Amino acid sequence: MRRRTALALTLLPAMARAQGAWPSRPIRLVVPFAPGGTTDVVGRIVAEKLGARLGQPVIVENRAGAGATIGAQLVARAEPDGLVLLVSSSTSHGVSPALYPNIPYDALRDFTHVGMIARSPSVLLVNPASPVRNLADFAAAARAAGEVRFAVAGIGTSSHLAGVRLAMALGVRTESIPYRGAGPALTDLMGGVVPAMMDSLPSSGPHVRAGSLRALAVSGAERADGFAELPTLREGGLDVVSYAWFGISGPAGLPAPIVDRLSAELRAVLTDPATRARLEELGGAPPDTTPESYTAFIRDELAAFAPLVRAAGLQPQ
């Protein structure tokens, strides 16, 4: 018995070192959208802080296309070693599973969901040279034309659905102009190529503050932190409440010690005052999160988005 006890005590440091060796190499954080969009902005904020805490760089890798399914599929098929992670979102794990009939992954079964980073309302945007000065102007112009033309960061993105819901509330048609991410769409909006856009505040907020975009309203249930001057769509008489959300996920089968470490470090990043202030400034207040709560949240969102996609008659492009 004494020999077994001594052997166990001898092995404990080695076991601790093996468990604590992760991550032994830089981590790839896949963002399934083009650079410059909300998912990219949020991912890069967290990547920098998470890498500092983990002792290895967290390198953002943009894999855009097909409603975020290309990047999500890459992570779903990766080795469950904690070295390839995903910025999962309301697009990749809410809308796209309802939109694409042959989606190459199961949003629950094929992933280990670690935690939510942020939840952010969309904002209705126009070019600052537009004669549309406020939400009432926008509603009047849309009803007079019988339609709204929106740039969208991809068919089936949460901001796209927010625009569809806004058009439905106005009683007009929607003409969606798809882009490969919010960054290119915002560029064209600022250049006057497209007339309007619904986008999440983390990517468009800096442009609004700089005066290169005009914000008319937000889609949250309340006014957004940092943008209290903007009314909600509900305040403008339109019954629309919509959010985009973002989190960290890995392949199915991530070992429990890695999940526990990632979850703890993510919570530490999100409670860091500077990080929290940065995300709140962009309109995306970080919630208290756990792997269990994030998984349950995604399950609920999957059930909520499916009927909305059907009602809007969306088709993948």
Q: Which residues contact 226 (CB under 8 A, 6 or more apart)?
A: 201, 205, 280, 281, 282, 283
Residue 155 has pLDDT above 80, yes or no: no
Selection from 172, 130, 122 nearest residue 152 by Cα? 122
Residue 16 has pLDDT above 60, yes or no: no
Q: What pLDDT sits at residue 9?
A: 46
232 DSSP 8-state letter: B
- What mean pLDDT do residues 48-75 have? 95
Taking the alpha carbons at both ends of the chain, their separation in whole angstroms is 68
Distance CA 66, CA 68 (A): 6
Residue 14 has pLDDT above 50, yes or no: no
Q: Where does the pLDDT of residue 20 fall: very low under 50, low under 70, confident under 90, or very high at 90 and above?
A: low
- State how far Cα 244 lies from the chain centre: 6
Considering the chain, what is the average pLDDT of its residues?
Answer: 89
26-120+244-312 topology per CATH? D-Maltodextrin-Binding Protein; domain 2 (3.40.190)
Give me the count of residues in the chain: 317
CATH classification (class only), 121-218:
alpha beta
**Least confident stretch, 141-145, 240-244, 277-281:** 277-281
Q: What pLDDT sits at residue 17?
A: 42
Residue 156 has pLDDT above 80, yes or no: no
Q: Where does the pLDDT of residue 153 fall: very low under 50, low under 70, confident under 90, or very high at 90 and above?
A: confident
More confident residue, 204 or 311: 204
- What mean pLDDT do residues 195-224 have? 92
CB 132 within 8 A of CB 138: yes
Q: What pLDDT sits at residue 67?
A: 83
pLDDT (tens digit, 9 = 90+) per residue, 85-94? 999 999 899 9
Q: What pLDDT sits at residue 243?
A: 86
Q: What pLDDT sits at residue 18?
A: 39
Tokens of 290: 């756990």
Q: What is the pTM of this model?
A: 0.77
Where exactly are the structural domains of the chain?
Answer: 26-120+244-312, 121-218
Residue 147 has pLDDT above 50, yes or no: yes
Residue 224 has pLDDT above 70, yes or no: yes
Residue 182 has pLDDT above 90, yes or no: no
Q: Where does the pLDDT of residue 317 fall: very low under 50, low under 70, confident under 90, or very high at 90 and above?
A: low
Residue 257 has pLDDT above 50, yes or no: yes
Three-state SS for 177? Answer: strand
Domain 26-120+244-312 shares a fold with domain 121-218: yes
- State how far Cα 239 lies from the chain centre: 23
Question: What does the DSSP assignment read for 297-312?
Answer: HHHHHHHHHHHHHHHH
